Amino acid sequence: MCGIAGIVAADPAGIRPMAAMTSALRHRGPDDEGYLVADSSSRQWWRYAGADTVPEISDPRLPSNPPQGANVALGHRRLSIIDLSAAGHGPMGSADGQTWVTYNGEIYNYVELREELRALGHDFQTGSDTEVLLAAYAQWGREALQRLNGMFAFGMLDLRRGELFCARDRFGVKPFYYFHNDSLFAFASEIKGLLAHPGVPCRPNERVALGFLVRGTLDEGEETFFQDIRALPASHALSLNLESSRLDVWRWYSLPETEPRPMAASAFRELLEDAIRLRLRSDVDVGTCLSGGLDSSSIVALSARLRAAAPQAGRQRVFSVLYDDSGMAEAEHVEAVVAHTGVEAFRTTAASGDLLRDLPALIRHQDEPLPSAGPYSHWRVMALAHENGIRVLLDGQGADELLAGYHYQFGAYLAETAKRSGWPAAIREAVVASRVTGHSLPFFLGMLAYHALPASQTLRDLVVSRAASHGYVDERLLDPGLLARVDPPRRARHSRRRTLREERSADLWATSLPALLRYEDRNSMAFGIEARTPFLDYRLVEAAIALPAGQLIERGWTKAILREAMRGILPESVRLRRDKLGFPTPERRWLRELAPQVREWLGAGSRVSPLLRAGALREWLAGSDEALSCQRGLWRLVCLEHWRRYVESARATAA
């Protein structure tokens, strides 16, 4: 829901680009447009409209020259999901006009919060969750964040306190980027919104780019691929003093530190079902992604049960992308879930020609490079949902991180087993895991040794370079002078972990989920769709993170508690799937079929060639199409090439 932007500038001219910033975010909110301009010294404010403002709002058009003394501007592009009337217009202000918010997201427990706030004396004029957010801030101040169950990013202008207060939800489902120097603070839902302001530099961050190429670093902290543009981390907030321009950033939420706490599978299912129930709250139809895996299938099945109890909700629609390639056959699992639940299914596929056509748009919407072609499958699902009029989709992000669904998480689990029960027990667990998953025994023993035994960083780097699932570019391909000048960041994913909880926490905060949520948000919002993630309900997360390892990995089976919770609700062929695919993508085949274009992209005039040894790249390009498509890290080079071209166009647009 929505695209947001804001500016605090020392000079009124600094807030002129507000319309350009929100225009860059129009895809996030095509239904309505609004602006708030204020003079924080006099506490005077003005509301304005834009070309897309709904007719019911009679505000004057945003002028090219702001009022004298104005130093703050908020912009809002609305995707109407809750209270579709003009009453949900943003930015929204308090009754006295001293507090204003531009807000992106959904507060799923807004109904319960509204009743609590009514009992405390607050009146409500709309059915929107935005008004609930304003009232919660008025009642509890910054502590209101602790009461919100939802996904959100917002900028709250408090003229009475002389402060801009901004926050991002617990797990970073909704994005927030910002730039700050002595004379300008600007924020936006996406980096492209910031680049529309001429005061924000448009310079590649070479350190981050090199980390992406040779170490796989991605979305692991505040740094972005753009120099001086930062991401507000998940569960963080910031405040900007409007008089002094002092910026403070702090963490407002952390996972509770608890001892392992077992949970009955039935209780876990009830909690997941309630998370889904809250996320079905909408004034537009809610669909569901269906990959055929355990996570999305569980959401589809439980959603179908909830909708069956409310016939007025209509038939549930689900959306999938399917390929015929060997090892990617998800169709039988998708069909099993569809037949079992009676949902209405929509399917799509993609060819290399589709990727060739869509790649520039995909990179433009993502703002930053992608480590594989996998997110393109998700893009195709969002396009399919958009074609069928869906504005809200439920998706399964977060389940693998929380419930130990990734096979690499066995490393920390086996290390924990070795410490708790001894090495023979850990080796027995490795043998069982090999039988269940189909991975070789040396695969599991290697991970056990990696996490349980001391080793030099050089040896660890060598192991990672050989075994990483997403191919990284060999450092020997890069220009040595560049590597000497710029030290790429190391990827936190490959740190040694002693317990499964430690691994899952790292996945949640740094090594896995942040990147997945970026793909999810940008792909969905590119098509004006709001993606909701029930597994990231904070109540479910807190319960899951406290589970003992044995309820997550049991006799070689991953996500054991979820499998048990869905007994009798999912087809057994899906509930007991051994493989893990997600939305698989035939990346290598596509690269082989696109080899002529790849040679053109990386040939003469390539934007990435200054980073590389010319001879090594020429050797790559001179090989056969098959040999080229198999080069480790090829996708990363192709994606970084397109991203650099995007940066050039973004710079030209912003100039």
> H/E/C letters for each residue in 270-319?
HHHHHHHHHHCCCCCCEEEECCCCHHHHHHHHHHHHHHHCCHHHCCCEEE
480 is written with which tokens?
């040595």
Q: Residue 8 phi/psi, 5° resolution?
A: -125, 120
Least confident of 305-309, 449-453, 464-468, 529-533: 464-468
Average pLDDT score over residue span 91-100: 96
In 147-303, which ranges are E strands?
150-158, 163-168, 177-180, 184-188, 230-231, 236-241, 247-251, 286-289
Answer whether residue 495 shows pLDDT above 80: yes
Answer whether residue 654 shows pLDDT above 70: no
> Locate tokens 């080793």: which residue?
455
Q: What is the pLDDT of residue 47?
A: 98
| pLDDT tens, residue by residue, 572-625 | 999 998 876 666 789 999 999 999 999 999 998 899 988 888 788 888 899 999
User: What CATH number does residue 534 fall under?
Assistant: 3.40.50.620
Enumerate residues 6+ apart whose C-beta is below 8 A from 119: none
Instruction: Kindly tell me the sign of the dihedral angle through the C-alpha atoms of 564, 566, 567, 573.
Output: negative
Same domain, 381 and 447: no
Q: Which of the pair, 655 or 231, is modelled with greater confidence?
A: 231
Distance CA 384, CA 115 (A): 37
222 lies in a domain?
no
| pLDDT tens, residue by residue, 436-494 | 999 999 999 989 999 998 876 666 666 666 666 567 888 888 888 887 777 777 666 77
Same domain, 149 and 30: yes
Same domain, 122 and 197: yes
Burial of 358 (0-12, 13-18, 19+ CB in 10 A): middle
Q: Which of 220, 251, 282 is the last residue of a domain?
A: 251
Distance CA 510, CA 218 (A): 9
Range of 604's domain? 595-654
Distance CA 442, CA 613 (A): 35
Percent of the chain clearing pLDDT 70 (strictly above): 95
Which letter, b or e, does each residue of 266-277 get, where b requires 16 or more Cβ atoms within 10 Å of its Cβ? eebbebbbbbbb
Distance CA 295, CA 399 (A): 6
| pLDDT tens, residue by residue, 537-584 | 999 999 999 999 999 999 999 999 999 999 999 999 999 988 766 667
573 is written with which tokens?
């062929």
Looking at mean pLDDT, say which of 317-321, 472-476, 495-499, 611-615 comes out highest.
Answer: 317-321
Q: What is the pLDDT of residue 266?
A: 98
CA angle, residues 526, 341, 529, in degrees to nearest 5? 10
Same domain, 191 and 275: no
Q: What is the pLDDT of residue 3?
A: 97
Average pLDDT score over residue span 637-646: 96
Same domain, 181 and 327: no
211 lies in a domain?
no
384 lies in a domain?
yes
Q: What is the pLDDT of residue 475?
A: 81
Same domain, 129 and 188: yes
Q: Which of 472, 492, 510 is the last residue of a domain?
A: 510
Note every long-range contact of 222-228, with CB atoms under 8 Å and residues 24 or more positions apart, other chains counting.
223/489, 224/177, 224/191, 224/368, 225/367, 225/368, 225/369, 225/643, 226/191, 226/195, 226/201, 226/202, 226/647, 227/201, 227/203, 228/179, 228/181, 228/200, 228/201, 228/203
499 lies in a domain?
yes
Same domain, 462 and 440: yes
Same domain, 117 and 79: yes
Same domain, 556 and 626: no
Q: How many CA atoms does the CB half-sphere of 556 hold within 13 Å?
A: 20
Average pLDDT score over residue span 77-88: 95
Same domain, 425 and 398: no
Note every long-range contact of 107-114, with CB atoms under 8 Å and residues 24 or more positions apart, other chains counting.
107/132, 107/133, 107/148, 107/149, 107/150, 107/152, 108/149, 108/150, 108/278, 108/279, 108/281, 108/537, 109/147, 109/148, 109/149, 109/150, 109/278, 110/82, 110/150, 111/281, 113/147, 113/148
Sheet holding 3-9, edge to edge: 44-49, 32-39, 72-78, 3-9, 184-188, 177-180, 230-231
Same domain, 175 and 44: yes
260 lies in a domain?
no
Distance CA 570, CA 298 (A): 7
- Give the relative orientation of helices 423-437 and 410-421 as an angle to the nearest 10 degrees: 150
Note every long-range contact of 435-439, with CB atoms under 8 Å and residues 24 or more positions apart, other chains counting.
435/556, 436/555, 436/556, 436/557, 436/578, 437/407, 437/556, 437/558, 437/578, 438/578, 438/579, 439/407
Distance CA 153, CA 237 (A): 9
Q: What is the pLDDT of residue 578?
A: 81
**Residue 393, helix vs strand vs coil:** strand
For the whole model, what pTM was predicted?
0.96
- Mean pLDDT (the chain) is 93
Q: DSSP labels for 428-476?
A: HHHHHHHHHH---HHHHHHHHHHHHS---HHHHHHHHHHH-SSPPPPGG
Percent of the chain clearing pLDDT 90 (strictly above): 82
Q: Which of the pair, 443 or 136, is modelled with greater confidence?
A: 136
Which letter, b or e, does each residue of 310-337 get, where b requires 16 or more Cβ atoms within 10 Å of its Cβ? eeeeeebbbbbbbbeeeebbbeebbbbb
Enumerate residues 6+ apart whose C-beta is below 8 A from 91: 34, 35, 36, 74, 75, 76, 100, 101, 102, 157
Q: Which of 202, 212, 199, 258 is nearest to 545 (CA)?
A: 258
Same domain, 309 and 368: yes
**Residue 216, helix vs strand vs coil:** coil
Assess whether the previous peptide bond of 91 is cis (omega < 30° from 0): yes
574 is written with which tokens?
């899906």
Answer whether residue 194 shows pLDDT above 70: yes
224 lies in a domain?
no
Q: Which of 251, 285, 319 is the last residue of a domain?
A: 251
Q: What is the pLDDT of residue 579?
A: 75
Distance CA 78, CA 92 (A): 11
Q: What is the pLDDT of residue 655?
A: 47
324 lies in a domain?
yes
438 lies in a domain?
yes
Q: What is the total count of domains within the chain?
A: 4
Amino acid 525 reads M
Q: Which of 352, 351, 368, 357 is nearest to 639 (CA)?
A: 368
User: What CATH number does residue 134 fall under?
Assistant: 3.60.20.10
